[in-house]
Amino acid sequence: MTAALISPEALSMRLADDDAPPPLLLDVRWVLAGSDRAGYEAGHLPGAVFLDLDRELASPPGEGGRHPLPSPEDLEATFRRLGVGPDRDVVVYDGGVGAAAARAWWVLRWGGHERVHVLDGGLPAWVAACGAVESGDVVPVPAPDAVVRPGGLPVLTADDVLAGGRVLLDARAAERFRGEVEPIDPVAGHVPGAVNVPTSALLAGDGRYLPPARLRAVLTAGVWAEGEVGAYCGSGVTAAQLVLALHEVGVVAALYAGSWSEWVRDPSRPVAVGD
């Protein structure tokens, strides 16, 4: 399984290689309040194109949760607008937290584009290692031959989660998992039987992901060693970080894209609180 993460140092070398076409850089900075175009325009990797998570990596909020998957037709239009052609290498990055970049990596992979990497540590790691940024906007070169083939990565539905048969990891902070607080969704708690692995535990102090051996220790934590694994969070964004981290240790995990924001829309679905 090819590593998805690329270091700033390796990306810098790749961009300086005149013998190979440069990868398409996608800036997907995002916070819970929404996509951060202003941050992008203030400073981004040279040549990077802005990718709006809320509008282009998700459908409008509704019965499927706060960030349902985009339709294949809409995603194909996004691929073509951005220039994500069949043979184009892509590197996605965000402001350093990692969730938005992981969501972008996941959606591109789900849409059938395998040649995509995540800049480890995001923009802060790039600035610390390489320094070069530019301001303003970059107009992408379209790829009219881009094609979306959904199903490149596995997805869970609410019915799949209800059926069980796999370890389900919850990416949210521990207090949200336990149901002590719920700042966004109308019901607090977690899916019964889920195991809490907050995404903050995946990162080192410099914002980069832990080495694979330490990632595996955090992700398994003595709870599972093999078998099917799924991940969810509040709306299917931060859970993509768990899927990415699991990929880095050789485990293919399924994403419950609707996540908690879809789960609690049906009051018949069970809810647990506490540890």
User: How far apart (Å, rounded) are the C-alpha atoms in residues 17 and 194?
Assistant: 45
Catalytic option among 153, 171, 233, 239: 233
* Beta-bridge mates of residue 5: 118
130 is catalytic: no
Check: CB of residue 208 under 8 Å from CB of residue 129: no
Q: Residue holding tokens 């175009």?
A: 37
Contacts of 218 (CB under 8 A, 6+ apart): 197, 201, 202, 210, 245
CB atoms within 10 A of CB 236: 30
**Which positions are catalytic?**
233
